Structure 1
């Protein structure tokens, strides 16, 4: 320990193994049977329930909660999976505090909503613990579909298409499936390898062939897929990273927050994962919070998350901001990076305080410096490697309401496509809806 204290910079083993194990346990413990009954009994089972309207996948929330109350959690899970086949992961990572729970009548009346997210996890975990998959494939249609990208949108589309009787080939550039569920979610939100367990469970419906290590534009092409398959669904995510416009970004110790999270998620031994003593995270979204909190949990002494606008403009919800501060993260609002300083490796970040003038963000000239031996950049991602021929709108693939692109028999969904929020639950809805439209077109129904 004394040796670690003498060592500045990015090093591994800042905390003992038992402390790391404790830090990265489940953020929210699963509900026990009795707890689930008590939590479910608070639901008013509203007619025209606002929580259902707020859910991007339109899960019948009052119905599944009533099914829990009646002692049939497996039926509740089926109600959830009918709309959201990744309901297990969404129960863990959805910002329910700004979706279904925010509009819950109990929240409005009492300031304490029904715990919809935890109840959803209780139901889905109960059913997923069984060996048998709850869905069967329809009679084979003879149609083949290529799904490129095995993140939430791609997995959702692949499952729905397979269930409808189509033969699906799922391509992904990484060796493991799951997309951001596997590589981009904080470890304390998805413990015990749940992302991979969910993928295996989803694939057990059958009719889905997997080809990993296949990157669009290198190993496979859109033109080739169009000629080999009846339809193509693109869910390739956002592979590019927005550049930080500040001097010194090429110094050692400045890295992409998404890659930092991915390394952590794939680590078998957190004590071997290096982290700085003084960490600065630049950005205001969920990725920034996940990176900042996990840096603190790995043993960083000081972690500061800096955002160029005010608290109410942050992409991360107020709940996520409070989570960060509760773990010891300092949030610096209204500050934009001016320069990263250091000799070879970073030692501090200089920020300029900002103000909004007539809706435009402007620097005030007032500066502040924060010590940093590690800088994690989380200022958003950009579309990378979109195939030629597709219309790009606002930096994403242009699609209609059902996910159809401007290229015949090609659909897209998830983060790479225009429209919707960059949320797991939104991606699931887009994959599901595109699958239904693909089915309709291929079967001559629309």
Structure 2
């Protein structure tokens, strides 16, 4: 159930406007030109650079850093955007500490990598600030492609297809484009309305129409799209949330963490957003950390992340875990929820300690309780609304090659497609590669 501001313990306005503004300011301050030059000078410009191999979108990282070093930030941005049209957002939200920066030679040798993410942001922000779109459309092909969803995979696919000269119609169920970039990422990572600004900038390519309030299985059918368009790309994301499977899950004060984050991202005034006094977040991924940290920043007195396995197995990166701890969030590992207790509304969550027996996770029989008037579930999302007739793999749309589904003329990418990591940068790569395959297929006749 969703929280109501009248639920005991869950209230709005715990902090002053000034405190909220400070708490939700930019997590990483952007580089100025001098700082960027100094940071770029640390790069060894490696041949066969491991950072490039670690980047899901294969950005030529040494190249763009050298361009920054020599004073050509706009050229650096073009190098980035050639491979990753959402390079500005990825610079803000990518777990670079477990991707490009983790394998940086400076990190291996000195324990301090080149700050690739912040350099990427400097380059893309510099170009976008000029209002320049460095890509142009090819001659019209007369082909029309339907893209379902307006998240990172879909936007990357649509832009690449438009660049190839095709006409694209994006069908989006919500009232804004962006997908998780708009609705599902911590506010302090994307300040100043950047998600929408980046979409607006991307759309300057032309040739892309967006229809809102269009949901697959409701106002749209795959069969009709196949009939009306030359190709279809599905980037519908994951709309469902796994069940907690604990007694009392339906109590007031228990809600999905993704909905909590979406409400926060869309709130016109953070002081109107209710938050619990004692918040428990169940899960161990990036969504869990984002929900927990933002609960603390909204004024929750105690915030606890509870994860069923050992902390070293948490999907959230070590940086994210340390960020949570630095904001006062407690992480309790090897604990799985048993029940939510309270007289109609959450008051406590009961957990059982777990251990890894080698054959799987098992309970120890020892339980404990944590006070909680707000419980946020961040235990993974599921695919909802997959069209009938599409083969699934592990609960997601099965794909081969560059996103080809079991239906001819239909491609898929992003979180809804099997394989790959549920990351913005991975979704961009999948959307881009699907677009290239769609283009080649259409041109082959």
TM-score range, shorter chain: over 0.9
Which residue number corresponds to residue 399 of structure 1? 399
In 2, distance between residues paired with 1:443 and 1:36? 42
Alpha-carbon distance, 1:133 to partner: 1.2
How does 1:223-242 map onto structure 2 within 5 Å?
223-242=223-242
Whether contact under 8 Å (1:334, 1:355) holds in the other structure is yes
Which TM-score applies when normalising by structure 2?
A: 0.98
Which residue number corresponds to residue 171 of structure 2? 171
How does 1:359-438 map onto structure 2 within 5 Å?
359-438=359-438
Alpha-carbon distance, 1:65 to partner: 0.1
Identify unmatched segments of 5+ residues in structure 1.
Answer: 1-6
In 1, distance between residues paired with 2:10 and 2:358? 41
Whether contact under 8 Å (1:8, 1:277) holds in the other structure is no
Alpha-carbon distance, 1:341 to partner: 0.1
1:136 aligns with 2:136: yes
Which residue number corresponds to residue 151 of structure 1? 151
How does 1:18-167 map onto structure 2 within 5 Å?
18-167=18-167
Which residue number corresponds to residue 262 of structure 1? 262
Secondary structure class of the residue paired with 1:155: helix
Q: Deviations over 1:147-191 (max 9, x none)?
A: 001000000000000000000001100000000000000000000
How does 1:147-226 map onto structure 2 within 5 Å?
147-226=147-226
Alpha-carbon distance, 1:362 to partner: 0.4
In 2, distance between residues paired with 1:405 and 1:131? 37
1:337 aligns with 2:337: yes
**Higher mean Cα deviation, 433-442 or 309-318?**
309-318
Alpha-carbon distance, 1:359 to partner: 3.1
In 1, distance between residues paired with 2:163 and 2:375? 45
Which residue number corresponds to residue 4 of structure 2? none
Whether contact under 8 Å (1:148, 1:154) holds in the other structure is yes
Secondary structure class of the residue paired with 1:365: strand
Q: Deviations over 1:336-372 (max 9, x none)?
A: 0000000010000000000011231000011110000
CA RMSD for the aligned pairs? 0.8
Identify unmatched segments of 5+ residues in structure 2.
Answer: 1-6
Which TM-score applies when normalising by structure 1?
A: 0.98
In 1, distance between residues paired with 2:274 and 2:254? 13
Secondary structure class of the residue paired with 1:123: helix
Which residue number corresponds to residue 317 of structure 1? 317
Which residue number corresponds to residue 279 of structure 1? 279
Q: Deviations over 1:89-119 (max 9, x none)?
A: 0000000000000000000000000000000
Secondary structure class of the residue paired with 1:343: coil
In 1, distance between residues paired with 2:369 and 2:401? 46
In 2, distance between residues paired with 1:359 and 1:385? 34
Alpha-carbon distance, 1:210 to partner: 0.5
In 2, distance between residues paired with 1:434 and 1:234? 10
Instruction: Name the count of aligned residue pairs.
Output: 439
Secondary structure class of the residue paired with 2:182: helix
Q: Deviations over 1:375-407 (max 9, x none)?
A: 000000000010011001100000012000010
Secondary structure class of the residue paired with 1:185: coil
In 2, distance between residues paired with 1:114 and 1:292? 29
In 1, distance between residues paired with 2:70 and 2:352? 57
In 2, distance between residues paired with 1:131 and 1:187? 24
